[in-house]
């Protein structure tokens, strides 16, 4: 009987891509991959360290795994493992800690999965690393959407962020290798390829290449598919990329563009590489050029020194931007960052209040965006999961769609004409076959 392994991911899309690659390594070695809620012989946790909550959640998940199987072999990897290996080694039941360079070399480092008295630590310095661990996530949606890692690390020095410490300097997959793997994913039937990385827009520096050039070469590949950029810094979203997205139907009409703060004072303290005027200029330019463009925004509340006035400036700045949703994060003190030494700590309850206000604003933005889709035609990719007779998918501009389950719609780029919004649902028809669909505002 095959041994079983359960994998659990904390954090970003990049982590999901790498976890999928680790899972495939286990499959190739003859292991059976099972759900985390099931009893397994081995548990692998790919961790995040962006917030204190992610660290705490890792500890809780390890305890839960050992309740399911006290004799399980427990592996912790990822950013938390890179930054705090000794701390993790003292967690009861943890057997191996693998750093960022080691996570995709699991089988070359661990000879067996037999529990020992002390945890094994495999963490090498990440500074100036030139290693690029290729990965993609290709099993979550049963050959509809694939997360494809093309870049890793970050050369930025944002005062709140530990990611450069955990993942090292910016580095990329070689352009020829990217195109080879991209064609392989298309040949396997994936209709949406989501490009991931720590700082995707920084792709290609070591190869004297640019993300724009890579996107153009990808879009020239034959096939019926579309390309989505997972996230891109505003200073790296060039006019060339905006125009390519406008002109090429294979580019998703969607950008996720981190802001972090709309207060010039706080933005400077965060050591971000742009000013609010520049950010709004990028947003407005993209929105004017690309019809029905969906724009997501990252924002942090409660940063040290953020007064009520600063927060209101941020709130009003975002309120006036033509964006469709927000990802709101509450500032969390992280060791080894510049921000942790800054004065003006914001009360935790006040941080939560500000977070809630921006989440409400996000709901309003999303509702207005969905209302604006009435009468328009959206390209929707339906996924294969049958959830009590319902199937779901994403539009090109990142609108979530549901429909009564129909296997003929799975992994097809369907054109849906939206006819109205009701109770946070938009209703429309798939052009050509008149099948009723519901567009969920989620």
Query: For 228-287, what is each residue's pLDDT tens digit?
Result: 999 999 999 999 999 999 999 999 999 999 999 999 999 999 999 999 999 999 999 999
CATH classification number, 133-251, choose in 3.30.750.210, 2.60.40.60, 3.20.20.105, 2.40.420.20: 3.30.750.210
Please name which of 69, 66, 19 lies closest in space to residue 44, comparing C-alpha atoms.
19
pLDDT band at 140 (very low <50, low <70, confident <90, very high): very low
CATH number of 253-365: 3.30.750.200
CATH number of 4-122: 3.40.50.12160
Q: How many CA atoms lie within 13 A of 61 on its CB side?
A: 24
Please name which of 362, 367, 350, 383 lies closest in space to residue 315, comparing C-alpha atoms.
362
* Whether pLDDT at 122 is above 60: yes
pLDDT band at 441 (very low <50, low <70, confident <90, very high): low
pLDDT computed for residue 128 by the predictor: 65
57 neighbors 77 (Cβ within 8 angstroms): no
Pick the more confident residue, 312 or 405: 312
pLDDT computed for residue 442 by the predictor: 52
Mean pLDDT (the chain) is: 90
Q: Which residue has the tokens 């020239």?
A: 220
Q: Where are the alpha helices (DSSP H) in 261-338?
A: 264-269, 276-289, 308-319
| Cα 279 from chain centroid (whole Å) | 21
| Best mean pLDDT range from 111-120, 224-233, 405-414 | 224-233
Please name which of 163, 201, 354 lies closest in space to residue 263, comparing C-alpha atoms.
354
Q: Percent of the chain at pLDDT above 70?
A: 93
Give mean pLDDT, residues 337-366: 97
303 neighbors 266 (Cβ within 8 angstroms): yes
Pick the more confident residue, 142 or 196: 196
User: 48: which 2 tokens?
Assistant: 């995040």
Residue 201 bridge partners (DSSP): none
Render pLDDT for 16-67 as a digit per residue (tens, 0 to 9).
888 989 998 999 999 999 999 899 999 999 998 877 776 788 889 999 999 9
For residues 62 and 41, what is the distance between their CA atoms, to the nearest angstrom?
13
Strands (E), 79-204: 94-98, 120-122, 136-137, 145-149, 151-152, 171-172, 192-196
Its pTM stands at 0.88
> What does DSSP say about strands 254-256 and 294-301: parallel, antiparallel, or unpaired?
parallel
Pick the more confident residue, 423 or 230: 230
pLDDT computed for residue 270 by the predictor: 98
């Amino acid at each position: 009987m095959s041994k079983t392994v359960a994998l659990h991911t904390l954090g970003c899309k990049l982590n999901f891509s790498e976890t999928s690659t680790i899972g495939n390594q286990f499959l190739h070695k003859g292991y059976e991959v099972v759900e985390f809620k099931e009893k397994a012989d081995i548990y692998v946790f790919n961790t995040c360290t962006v917030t204190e909550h992610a660290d705490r959640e890792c500890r809780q998940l390890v305890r839960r795994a050992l309740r399911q199987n006290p004799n399980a072999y427990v592996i912790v990897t990822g950013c938390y493992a890179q930054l705090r290996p000794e701390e993790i080694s003292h967690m009861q039941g943890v057997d191996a800690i693998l750093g960022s360079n080691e996570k995709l070399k699991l089988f070359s480092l661990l000879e067996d999965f037999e529990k020992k008295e002390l945890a094994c630590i495999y963490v090498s310095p990440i500074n100036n690393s030139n290693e690029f661990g290729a990965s993609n996530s290709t099993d979550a949606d049963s050959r509809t959407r694939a997360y494809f890692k093309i870049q890793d690390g970050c050369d930025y020095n944002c005062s709140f962020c530990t990611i450069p410490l955990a993942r090292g300097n910016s580095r990329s997959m070689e352009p020829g290798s990217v195109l080879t793997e991209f064609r392989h994913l298309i040949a396997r039937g994936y209709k949406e390829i989501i490009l991931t990385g720590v700082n995707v827009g920084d792709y290609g520096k070591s190869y004297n290449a640019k993300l724009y050039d890579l996107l153009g070469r990808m879009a020239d590949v034959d096939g019926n598919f579309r390309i989505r950029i997972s996230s891109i810094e505003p200073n790296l979203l060039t006019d060339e990329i905006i125009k390519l997205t406008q002109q090429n139907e294979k580019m998703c009409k969607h950008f996720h563009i981190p802001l972090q703060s709309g207060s010039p004072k706080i933005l400077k303290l965060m050591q971000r590489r742009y000013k609010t005027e520049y950010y709004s200029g990028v947003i407005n330019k993209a929105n004017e050029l690309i019809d029905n463009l969906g724009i997501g925004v990252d924002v942090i509340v409660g940063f040290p020194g953020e007064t009520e006035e600063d927060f209101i400036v941020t709130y009003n700045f975002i309120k006036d931007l033509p964006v469709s949703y927000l990802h709101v994060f509450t500032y969390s003190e992280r060791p080894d960052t510049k921000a942790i030494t800054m004065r003006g700590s914001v009360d935790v309850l006040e941080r939560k209040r500000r977070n809630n206000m921006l989440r409400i604003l996000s709901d309003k933005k999303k509702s207005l965006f969905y209302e604006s889709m009435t009468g328009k035609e959206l390209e929707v990719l339906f996924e294969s999961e049958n959830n009590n007779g319902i199937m779901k998918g994403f539009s090109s501009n990142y609108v979530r769609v549901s429909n009564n389950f129909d296997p003929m719609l799975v992994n097809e780029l369907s054109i849906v004409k939206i006819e109205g919004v009701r109770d946070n649902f938009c209703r429309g028809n798939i052009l050509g076959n008149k099948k009723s669909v519901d567009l969920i505002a989620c």
